Amino acid sequence: MNKPDSTTDTVTAALIVIGEEILSGRTRDENISHIARYLTEIGIALQEVRVVRDVEAEIVAAVNALRPRYTYVFTTGGIGPTHDDVTTDAIASAFGVGVEIDPRAVEAMRRGYSGLELTPARLRMARIPYGADLVDNPVSRAPGFMLGNVIVMAGIPRIMQVMLDAVAPRLKKGRPMRSRSIRIEAPEGDVAPGLAAIQAAHADVQIGSYPFFEKSKLGTYVVLRSVDDAALDRVHGALSELIAKERFKASESEADGKS
Amino acid sequence: MNKPDSTTDTVTAALIVIGEEILSGRTRDENISHIARYLTEIGIALQEVRVVRDVEAEIVAAVNALRPRYTYVFTTGGIGPTHDDVTTDAIASAFGVGVEIDPRAVEAMRRGYSGLELTPARLRMARIPYGADLVDNPVSRAPGFMLGNVIVMAGIPRIMQVMLDAVAPRLKKGRPMRSRSIRIEAPEGDVAPGLAAIQAAHADVQIGSYPFFEKSKLGTYVVLRSVDDAALDRVHGALSELIAKERFKASESEADGKS
């Protein structure tokens, strides 16, 4: 499941965002950026995201393609009570297991749904695949679940976020990715050759280059990423030498926490 | 390439967003929602999105998985001048063709890059796979390209958007998806059974249900989508009957253009 990284045992993840409303443009997805930042902070490397329709076959295909490749697969969306919520059945189908109303889920919902009747429609949300563990939902009570290495969460951002908080303690974490941002007041094209040389000499640090345009001038953010602070220092040093040699104007970005 | 829809010839698309910075959470992607809305408006159905790293093998795998399945595949990102821009080589590799500096691209860049030297690094952006058509970039001049049914664009939103405008006239369009939004002041669970019955009776209209929480009350947006106005009217009528029967409080959402 884990693709070993040559420098460290990396804990990896993929995310499947389930929702026609994102593909139609009706809803702008917030979950990808939240989950990406969250996982980076706890040392899990998100390496692929797929956005698919609320179609069982699509979800099954994505789940089965991704779960052998990554330590964890997260899904968002499609676990509500309506006919277009097909994720639970899709996950069960992907694993070849059955689905039934889970008494633990019913209990969680009974505690939370005071005043609202647990109708058959609502009880759809207590349908959980065999063998799954529940993921707590303190906001609206209908739980998410984890089956094998697949964590199935709500699509509504507020609810997804509490489910992610609830499941995070159970997950393996890798060494957190550390990053440094250096802002260079020169166009990418001018920075590129020197940067390529540094990257070639330092395979253990990811060097990303992000152009920007401000006050009619082209500039470049260089972002260094590694789990290893010493390696980061080495590359940071090499970059400082490049900047001095080329007489670039440059500054450290604030530790913006961004990776 | 086209998966024929049972009700109409649908023009479909997938999008590959190439960028480590989105997977790390450093950058929040804007391109998915822009492209999703844009394609919906011109009658192209976006059916899958993948976000992958700036790794040639990942891009090749995604391109080759998606290009037989959809009418068009769009990519964003990775066509700049730096070492981490590997998209052009990946696309060429996916198609099994060579790459070389394209005189048409050099000419476009020469016209635009007044004052900036066309260094070897910048000329990387004039490397185009054999057989590709160029996609104009009036903002920063380095062109995108189209090879087969794959349209390769910049990652920077402003530049991607003008490339999409430039290529759109060349694309086949389907019948635009039309939509209606009805806001129901009742929780999804209460709406679900009646909605399921309507969906079962009307396969030619997509019915989506989106819960919301406002002023301590649960509500549900129902979104009806179809290329066929008459079918929409039928389902809208059935929904109005359901609302009356269940005595839900409901209102039409403004024609918000959202699908």
Pull the structure tokens for residue A235: 């590359």
Q: Which residue of A has its CA nearest to B27?
A: A33
Residue pair A183/A249 in contact by the 8 Å Cβ criterion:
no
**What residues in chain B have per-residue pLDDT under 50?**
1-8, 255-259
pLDDT single digits (tens) A227-239:
999 999 999 999 9
- In this prediction, residues A151-164 reach a mean pLDDT of 96
Q: Is the pLDDT of residue A255 over 60?
A: no
Of A53, A192, A211, the CB nearest to B83: A192
Name the nearest CA neighbour of A214 among A175, A186, A247. Answer: A186
- CATH classification code of A178-258: 3.30.70.600
B110-142, pLDDT tens digit by residue? 887 777 788 888 899 999 999 999 999 988 889
The Cα A78–Cα A64 span in angstroms is 17
Tens digit of each residue's pLDDT (9 = 90 or more) over B66-77: 999 999 999 999
Report how far apart, in Å, the C-alpha atoms of B195 and of each of A83, A120, B87, B184 are.
8, 14, 44, 12
The percent of chain B in helix, strand and coil, each rounded to the nearest 5, is: 40, 25, 35
Distance, CA of B147 to CA of A1 (rounded, Å): 34
> Could you give the maximum distance between any two Cα atoms of chain B, in Å?
72
Query: What's residue B99's pLDDT?
Result: 97
Instruction: Say yes or no for a CB contact (<8 Å) between B24 and A36.
Output: yes
d(CA A72, CA A65): 12
Topology of the domain covering A11-170: Molybdenum Cofactor Biosythetic Enzyme; Chain A (3.40.980)
| Out of A121, A125, A209, closest to residue B82 by CB | A209
Whether residue A207 is predicted with pLDDT greater than 90 in this model: the reply is: yes
Task: Assess whether pLDDT exceeds 70 at residue A242.
Answer: yes
Report CB contact under 8 Å: A23, B38. no
Instruction: Compute CA A83 distance to the chain's CA centroid, rounded to the nearest angstrom.
Output: 27
Q: Could you give the CA distance from residue B236 to residue B242 in angstroms, rounded to a whole number?
A: 10
CA of A121 vs chain B CAs: smallest distance (Å): 5
The Cα–Cα gap between A122 and A131 comes to: 21
Q: Is A227 left (phi over 0), alpha (psi -120 to 50) or beta?
A: alpha
Contact B80, B126 (CB under 8 A): no
What's the whole-number mean pLDDT along residues A209-233?
92
Q: How far is it, in rounded angstroms, from Cα A99 to Cα A112?
A: 22
Instruction: Give residue B177's pLDDT.
Output: 86
Nearest residue of B to residue A16 by CA position? B50
The full set of domain ranges for chain A reads: 11-170, 178-258
Q: Give residue A257's pLDDT.
A: 41
Query: Rounded to a whole number, what is the distance in Å from the CA of B41 to chain A's nearest CA?
Result: 9
Distance, CA of B63 to chain centre: 15
Interface test with A, best of B48, B66, B82 (most A CBs within 10 A): B82
pLDDT surpasses 60 at A259: no
Residue A254, pLDDT score: 58
Q: What is the pLDDT of residue B254?
A: 58
For an interface test with A, the pick among B16, B24, B27 (most A C-beta atoms closer than 10 Å) comes out as B24
> A210 contacts in B (CB within 8 Å)?
21, 27
Q: Which residues of A touch B21 (CB under 8 A)?
A: 208, 210, 223
Contact A211 B80 (CB under 8 A): yes
- Measure CB to CB from residue A121 to each of B49, B189, B259 and give the nearest one: B189
How many CB atoms are located within 10 Å of the residue B93 CB?
19
Dist. CA A167–CA A140, nearest whole Å: 16
Average pLDDT over residues A227-252: 96
> Cβ contacts (< 8 Å) between A26 and chain B: which residues?
179, 223, 258-259
Mean pLDDT, residues A11-36 taken together? 95
Measured between CA atoms, the residue of chain A closest to residue B46 is A23
Q: Is there a contact between A83 and B29 if contact means CB atoms under 8 Å apart?
A: no
Residue pair B23/B152 in contact by the 8 Å Cβ criterion: no
Q: Over the stretch A65-112, which tens digit does the pLDDT of each residue have?
A: 999 999 999 999 999 999 999 999 999 999 999 999 999 999 999 887
Are the C-beta atoms of residues B164 and B149 closer than 8 Å to each other?
no
Q: Do B49 and A259 touch (CB under 8 A)?
A: no
Q: Report how far residue B56's alpha carbon sits from residue B101's, in angstroms, rounded to the nearest whole number.
A: 19
Contacts of B177 in chain A (CB under 8 A): 24
pLDDT, chain B, mean: 92
Test A259 with B195 for CB contact under 8 angstroms: no
Contact A199, A183 (CB under 8 A): no
